[in-house]
Amino acid sequence: MKKYNSINELSLVIEKDLSLYNGFNKEIMNLLELLETINPCEQEYELINNNIIISYILKINLFNFKNILPLRVKVQIIGLPISISEKGYWGEVDSIVKAVEKRKGLKILLNGESEFKNGGRTLSTFIFENKYSSFNGYLNALRSPYRRRINKALKHRSNIGIRKFSSKDFNKNHYKLYLSIMGRTTNPLETLPLKFFVDYEAELYEFIDIETKDVIGFIQLKEINDKLCFLFGGFKKEDNFKYDIYYNILLKIIEIGIEKQIKFIEFGQTAEECKLKIGCMEVPKYMYVHHSNPLLNRIIQKLVPLFSYKPYNIVHHVFKQN
């Protein structure tokens, strides 16, 4: 077992044969290197045989998914220090869990792809499977109630300009839109600085009011592990009523994914209803909580179901073939 305080130290050891680590790749390493600079939070990288564990320190509300009195505690998170649905471990899951259990204090392993014994649910992610050669083909595949809602949103396109722009042109106006989203989210982990959007190599699109030329929204997209991932975006709540901006953001991402002929688009872990109504499928994500104190650990694991995420329970038959 070896621990490293920087991703560069770890990369020198594993870079010769990344195929051993099943999904851990240079794209993730580049992201982690940037996060060490713009979001320092005591990142640590552990290598055990062919298992990789990424962790960081954060104060969180243990009852994040419950509308009760917040309980903020310092926790070691096993995950990436950024609010995306990617997990923070690679390798043999049982060995990773045993290694995490040996650590002192309270630990939370996030975004697991399968259930953990005595574990719980964290936020699901939402995936769109692209089966279409054109955006019109996608629209025609929708059942009429869902197509009608989407066409209602698309009518606002006549008042909106959408353009791709360079990360170097990301400015305070864009960032205020991101902060507006973060101020409304009910399950925040961390808020990224403006520098992340400037320095991270990703695709950015902005939504502009054609008349006023004001920026009313933006999206940040990145191809990770053969998926197009919706990382972050921003818009003001009041503009959602005026422009139907959130639906237009989601639909633009689908349009971009179809143009690129990418098989899967990952839309992230919030706004379940909207994402399911445009044709996404829910993919469960799991968590495991452990404390090194045996008594506290027994109590915490009994309570895990109380502060686990409760999945969206309405089935939407969006497409005609369903």
Residues 133 and 199 in one domain: yes
Q: Which of 44-48, 76-80, 82-86 has the lowest mean pLDDT?
A: 82-86
- CB-based burial label for 14 (10 Å; 0-12, 13-18, 19+): middle
Residues 290 and 277 in one domain: no
Instruction: Please enumerate in sequence order all residues whose Cβ is within 8 A of that of 46, keeping only pairs 6 or more positions apart, or say none.
Output: 1, 2, 3, 4, 52, 53, 55, 99
**Other Cβ atoms closer than 10 A to 233:** 23
**In percent, how much of the chain has pLDDT > 70?**
94
Residues 297 and 268 in one domain: no
Is residue 289 domain-resident?
A: yes
Is residue 257 domain-resident?
A: yes
Q: Can you give the pLDDT at residue 34?
A: 97
Domain that holds residue 36: 2-124+284-307
Q: Can you give the pLDDT at residue 52?
A: 96
Residues 274 and 288 in one domain: no
Residues 53 and 70 in one domain: yes
Computed over every residue of the chain, the mean pLDDT equals: 91
Determine the length of the chain.
322
- Strand ranges inside the chain, DSSP E: 2-4, 44-48, 51-61, 72-78, 89-90, 106-112, 120-129, 160-165, 203-209, 215-224, 227-235, 264-266, 281-291
Give the separation between CA 12 and CA 241, rounded to whole angstroms: 50
**Residue 260 main-chain phi, psi, to 5 deg:** -80, -10
- Would you say residue 36 has pLDDT above 50? yes
- Would you say residue 22 has pLDDT above 90? no
Query: Is 6 within 8 Å of 13 (Cβ atoms)?
Result: no
Is residue 318 domain-resident?
A: no
Is residue 88 domain-resident?
A: yes
pTM for this predicted structure: 0.90
User: How much is the average pLDDT of 250-261?
Assistant: 97
Query: Is 107 within 8 Å of 289 (Cβ atoms)?
Result: yes
3-state secondary structure of 91: coil
- Would you say residue 159 has pLDDT above 50? yes
Q: Which of 68-72, 187-191, 227-231 has the lowest mean pLDDT?
A: 68-72
CA dihedral in degrees (272, 274, 277, 282; nearest 10)? Answer: -20
Residues 120 and 62 in one domain: yes
Residues 216 and 190 in one domain: yes
The token pair that represents 101 in the structure block: 């259990």
Of residues 31, 22, 27, the one with CA closest to residue 52: 22
- Angle between helices 144-154 and 245-260 in degrees, nearest 10: 100
Residues 46 and 136 in one domain: no
**Other Cβ atoms closer than 10 A to 279:** 24
Q: What is the CATH number of the domain that holds 256?
A: 3.40.630.30
Residues 265 and 301 in one domain: no
Is residue 232 domain-resident?
A: yes
Return the bridge partners of 59, or none: 74
Residues 275 and 290 in one domain: no
Q: Can you give the pLDDT at residue 17?
A: 78
Q: Can you give the pLDDT at residue 188?
A: 63
Give 282-313 as a DSSP string.
EEEEEEEEEESSHHHHHHHHHHGGGGSPPPP-
Q: How confident is the model at residue 226 (pLDDT cuts 50, 70, 90)?
A: confident
Is residue 319 domain-resident?
A: no
Is residue 179 domain-resident?
A: yes
- Would you say residue 61 has pLDDT above 80? no
User: Which secondary structure element, helix H or strand E, spans residue 17, and what is its range?
Assistant: none
Identify the sign of the CA torsion 77, 83, 85, 91: negative
Q: Can you give the pLDDT at residue 190?
A: 81
Q: Can you give the pLDDT at residue 69?
A: 46
User: How much is the average pLDDT of 235-257?
Assistant: 95
Q: Can you give the pLDDT at residue 260?
A: 96
Residues 70 and 147 in one domain: no
CA distances from 96 to 16, 48, 100, 163 (A): 22, 8, 6, 43
Residues 294 and 242 in one domain: no
Is residue 312 domain-resident?
A: no
Tell me the pLDDT tens digit for each residue of 161-204: 999 999 999 999 999 999 999 988 766 668 899 999 999 999 99
User: How much is the average pLDDT of 212-221?
Assistant: 97
User: How much is the average pLDDT of 152-162?
Assistant: 95
Q: Structurally, how many domains does the chain consist of? A: 2
